[in-house]
Amino acid sequence: MTQLDAVYAFVTAFAVAALLTPLTARLARRVGAIDQPKSRGLGRDATPLLGGLAIGAGALVAALIFLDPSARTHDRLLGILGGALLITVVGAVDDRFDLHPAVKLLGQVAAAVIPVAAGVEVTNITLPFAGAIDFGSAGAPVTVVGLVAMMNVVNFSDGVDGLAAGVCAISAVAFSIIAFDLDRSYAAILAACTAGAATGFLLHNFPPASIYMGDTGANLLGLLLGCIAVEGAVKTQAVLALVFPLVVLAVPFLDTTFVILKRMKYRRKVYVADANHFHHRLSRIGFSERRTLAYLYAWTLLLGGFAVALRFIPYSDHHGHLHTGWSVVVAALALLVAAASVYLVYVLEIVKLRRITRRRRPDATEDEVDAHVERTMETGEFEALGR
């Protein structure tokens, strides 16, 4: 399996998902799987769900055509596809009948157990300056927890047209490049299938969306990305193996972490949705849906590019010796990414919010403006602000 196979897999998955998405929209309307506008959401009209069925079909068709697993990886691939099929069914039922959170969690755990039982398991990781850490018998449950967390991370971030599909597509492309370089070609091809299917669906999901992926697609993409991260990076002996997925998926991880901590701080139920995600906050300070996507896509691209750079820049000989010049380059890139991240999640909101507050409250003093901004940033409860 070569890089050219990955390109063909991407194109095939893209075409299948793009062609099937309108059919899944018709199916969703027929069975009543319709998302109604919610006060916390950014959607304005009743929109069909079940877009994840087209994503799953695109990824599956491409995988069956272009994946030729070895005897060593055959069972793991079947496990991934089996888990993907189960979570797609669970998600579709949830999109239609709105399952209880405990039932959804049980379905996620069951779907994660299938690939882990087939060998998609992290038994040890290699950390910089710490060496190898062996999980032993805890490897399987740790991996299941990680896969379930990944499903929920994607699900939590799916709150504005085009966001989850675009971020997952960008992340999958980054994983594909990294996996090829780590000689994990079957994980790289699977990542290309995932990226192509998400991008094909995005044709119909970009604002204004004609269909949503629903829990069907969010859980499926989360499981696939989690398995790809395990098989394509974390299970290798690369020193930064664990760092790659954390950097590539930093945007949805940070978003989910921020929201969960906020709910815990104010004693809200963690699993009850609210409107404090990054995309909600950007919308409330005046960003259009497309501008919100542009910023979050750019942030994801920046982080994904940095993860790829970490793999390709020869800053180390992999035996504990650093090359000064290239290490400086990596450090500079890290500072750039960190600065951009701080700007996007903090400075951007404060600066624009302060300007809008002054415009809406011309008689307020600087201390009053600062107090208002601080209170708003602390609680996450923005006023409805114009563009």
Supply 63's token pair. Answer: 């995988």
> Which residues fall within 8 angstroms of residue 57, CB to CB, at 6 or more apart?
16, 17, 20, 197
**Beta-bridge partner residues of 134:** 124
23-62 per-residue burial string, b: 16 or more CB within 10 A, e: under 16: ebbebbbeeebbbeeeeeebbeeebbbbbbbbbbbbbbbb
Higher pLDDT, 237 or 314: 314
Residue that has been written with the tokens 């998926």 in this structure: 249
pLDDT of residue 385: 46
How far is 22 from 273, CA to CA, in rounded Å? 28
> Which residues fall within 8 angstroms of residue 363, CB to CB, at 6 or more apart?
none
316 φ, ψ (degrees, to nearest 5): -145, 155
Interior angle at CA 120, CA 316 and CA 258, nearest 5:
70
Distances from the Cα of 169 to the Cα of 4, 194, 297, angstroms: 18, 7, 10
Instruction: Assign 323 a pLDDT band (cuts: 50, 70, 90).
Output: confident
Digit-coded pLDDT (tens) for 39-96: 455 555 789 999 999 999 999 999 999 998 788 889 999 999 999 999 999 999 999 9
Instruction: Assign 384 a pLDDT band (cuts: 50, 70, 90).
Output: very low
pLDDT of residue 259: 81
How far is 299 from 297, CA to CA, in rounded Å? 5
The total of other beta-carbon atoms located within 10 Å of residue 158's CB is: 27
Evaluate if residue 387 carries a pLDDT over 50.
no
Supply 7's token pair. Answer: 């390109």
Nearest Cα residue to 218 out of 344, 117, 92, 33: 92
Determine whether the annotation assigns residue 215 to a binding site.
Answer: yes
> Which residues fall within 8 angstroms of residue 138, CB to CB, at 6 or more apart?
none
Evaluate if residue 386 carries a pLDDT over 70.
no
> Which residues fall within 8 angstroms of residue 230, CB to CB, at 6 or more apart?
120, 121, 122, 143, 146, 147
Instruction: Assign 314 a pLDDT band (cuts: 50, 70, 90).
Output: confident
The answer to whether the beta carbons of residues 204 and 18 sit under 8 Å apart is yes
pLDDT of residue 263: 78
pLDDT of residue 189: 97
How far is 51 from 224, CA to CA, in rounded Å? 16
Task: Give the mean model confidence (pLDDT) for residues 297-324.
Answer: 84
How far is 296 from 298, CA to CA, in rounded Å? 5
Distances from the Cα of 186 to the Cα of 9, 82, 190, 238, angstroms: 11, 16, 6, 17
As a whole-number percent, the residues of the chain with pLDDT over 90 amount to 55
Q: At what angle do helices 214-229 and 51-66 cross, to 10 degrees?
A: 40
Digit-coded pLDDT (tens) for 170-208: 999 999 999 999 999 999 999 999 999 999 999 999 999
As a whole-number percent, the residues of the chain with pLDDT over 70 amount to 84
Higher pLDDT, 286 or 16: 16
The overall average pLDDT reported for the chain is 86
**Beta-bridge partner residues of 339:** none
pTM of the entire structure?
0.86
